[in-house]
Amino acid sequence: MYGWIVPPPREPTKSSEELAQERAAKVQELLLTGYLQSELIQQALLKVPREIFIPRLYQDYAYLEVPLPLPGERATISCPHSYPLFYEPLGLDRGHKFLEIGTGSGYGVAVAREVVGAEGLVVSIEIDPTTFEFAQRNLERAGYDDILLVNSDGGRGYPEKKSFDRIAITAACATVPPELIEQLSPRGRLIAPLQREHTQELVLFERGLGGLRSRFICEVLYVPLRGVCGS
């Protein structure tokens, strides 16, 4: 699967206490490696039980740095470090209106919901109906009933709730879908993995007075964006 070695499926053996300890250790590791800086993102990662968002036979691996398979076509939950990797440069904060393209497991929006708080808004779009239902169930079990989930092509964004302060695209695209740029607020930021010839680059875009500025963050490896703007 795209260059990652996925551990073999197995019946879960770890207790919720063991997983909570692994979660706390992972947050410490992310702080030490510099991926994580914001107190809000730190608290969100400590609060959301990632194992709830993972298929049963992979739950023991919840805090390993590997993407794990999800129900649906080519869907994965991203590695734990991917969430601060996206949310720190975005500067995701209290009160933001946040749009995610590629709900996957639902874990990313649960973390975002904790960060933006009740005064913010979280919308997430998933193209695959099987993955969408999986995310819906996970978020329900985890107690998140105030995230707007949409089963459609995220390449068109969600004009009904524009403009968004922050947008994260969690699948690799050749270029950022133009409708997403249109739905970005005046000082908004968008982050996306962009497909280059042989690699993918995570790029941050910021809308300012002079237009859209971009900044390379690092190389990444994501499943391809599907739909109208897919490759």
Ligand X SMILES: C[S@@+](CC[C@H](N)C(=O)[O-])C[C@H]1O[C@@H](n2cnc3c(N)ncnc32)[C@H](O)[C@@H]1O
Residues designated as active site: 78
Shortest distance in whole angstroms from residue 211 CB to ligand X: 25
- Which 169-198 positions form the footprint of ligand X (CB under 6 A)? 170-171
* Given 84, 155, 157, 188, the residue binding ligand X (CB under 6 A): 155
Q: Which is nearer to ligand X, 112 or 208 (CB)?
A: 112
Q: Where are the beta strands (DSSP E) in 42-104?
A: 68-69, 76-77, 97-101
Our finding on whether 125 is near ligand X (CB under 6 A) is yes
Instruction: Give the C-alpha distances (Å, rounded to integers) separating 43 from 20, 47, 127, 170.
Output: 13, 6, 29, 22
- Which 78-117 positions form the footprint of ligand X (CB under 6 A)? 78, 101-102, 104-105, 107-108
Return phi, psi of residue 98, to 5°.
Answer: -120, 135
Q: Which two tokens stand for residue 49?
A: 């039980």
Q: Pattern 33-72, binding to ligand X, x per CB under 6 A?
A: ---------------------------------------x
Q: Kindly indicate which of the ranges 38-46, 121-129, 198-206, 209-217 contains the residues binding ligand X, using the contact rule CB under 6 A.
A: 121-129
- What counts of helices (H) and strands (E) characterise the chain? 6, 9
User: How far is Cα 53 from Cα 12, in angstroms, rounded to an integer?
Assistant: 14
User: How far is Cα 89 from Cα 78, in angstroms, rounded to an integer?
Assistant: 17
Instruction: List contacts with ligand X (CB under 6 A).
Output: 72, 75-78, 101-102, 104-105, 107-108, 125-128, 131, 153-155, 170-171, 222-223, 225-227
